[in-house]
Amino acid sequence: MRRVRPRSSRVLMVLSIVLAALATVGLRGHLARLEAMARVGGGSGSVLVAIADLERGTAVGPSMVEVRSIPARYRQPGALTAPGQALGRVLTNDVLAGEALTEARLAPPGGPVAALVPEGFRAFPLPAMFPSGSLAPGDRVDVLATYPAGQPYTETVASAAEVLLVLEGATSEAFEPGTTVLLLVGPETAERLAHAAAFAEISLSVAPGRVGP
């Protein structure tokens, strides 16, 4: 005698077939969307990255960078693609190992000091009576001027000025051999520093805090 399947079993079988077909269609649609997104992303591209951590003020050398391939959608605006675009140029910001070098992080070709000075600022040199190695770029200092004429007095000419560069053994017509620091200041502060350097004895004191990356 032939066995007849219950009606509920046939319904469940048909329903399973329908669900499987819908899942297949959904999977194909998902894969198609992924392929479309990949086409929009443009595949991969080459970018120039730092091999090790590089500090602001560093002139980029051939051993400091390499070209890597990354998905185009992750490429930063202005990212460089070849070492020749960066070699010899000065970094205006710290760059971590593996980070891409961009035009915004490199100063335009020019002198090593001028390349570090942002628009609207000045680099002003002053002698520093600190032991070698006790000051570094990014430190903050107060500039004190002591005027000896008449009743001697001392005033603060600049507060928390950023140390741009430390030049060991630097000399000039006005300074004895020793350490000279380049301070990053505004034009008005540069005028006050010039006046103080001409008529007063200059001293520097280290202020708390450093400039962030």
Residue 4 within any structural domain of the chain: no
Taking alpha carbons only, the member of 129, 121, 131 closest to residue 176 is 129
Taking alpha carbons only, the member of 67, 63, 64 closest to residue 53 is 64
Predicted pLDDT of residue 6: 59
Percent of the residues in the chain that have a pLDDT greater than 70, as a whole number: 72
Token pair of 56, please?
């602001």
Question: Do 128 and 95 have their domain in common?
Answer: no
Residue 79 within any structural domain of the chain: yes
Question: Do 194 and 141 have their domain in common?
Answer: yes
From 77-86, 126-135, 199-208, the region with the lowest mean pLDDT: 126-135
Token pair of 138, please?
């990014």
Residue 101 within any structural domain of the chain: yes
Token pair of 126, please?
């002053």
Question: Do 134 and 173 have their domain in common?
Answer: yes
Taking alpha carbons only, the member of 64, 164, 78, 187 closest to residue 114 is 164
- Which range, 61-75, 117-131, 142-156, 170-184, is most confident? 142-156
What radius of gyration, in Å, describes the C-alpha atoms of the chain?
A: 32
Residue 29 within any structural domain of the chain: no
In angstroms, the CA 175 to CA 192 distance is 18
Question: Do 179 and 153 have their domain in common?
Answer: yes
Q: Which residues contact 42 (CB under 8 A, 6 or more apart)?
A: 72, 73
In angstroms, the CA 66 to CA 68 distance is 6
Asked if 49 and 101 touch (Cβ cutoff 8 Å), the reply is yes
Residue 5 within any structural domain of the chain: no
Burial of 98 (C-beta count, 10 Å sphere; 0-12/13-18/19+): exposed
pLDDT tens profile 120-150: 899 899 988 877 778 888 889 999 999 987 7
Residue 2 within any structural domain of the chain: no
Domain count, the chain: 2
> Is 62 a residue whose pLDDT tops 60?
yes
In angstroms, the CA 109 to CA 86 distance is 10
Domain that holds residue 56: 44-105
Which of 71, 105, 139 delimits the end of a domain? 105
Residue 172 within any structural domain of the chain: yes
Q: Which residues contact 164 (CB under 8 A, 6 or more apart)?
A: 57, 113, 116, 117, 123, 137, 181, 182, 183, 184
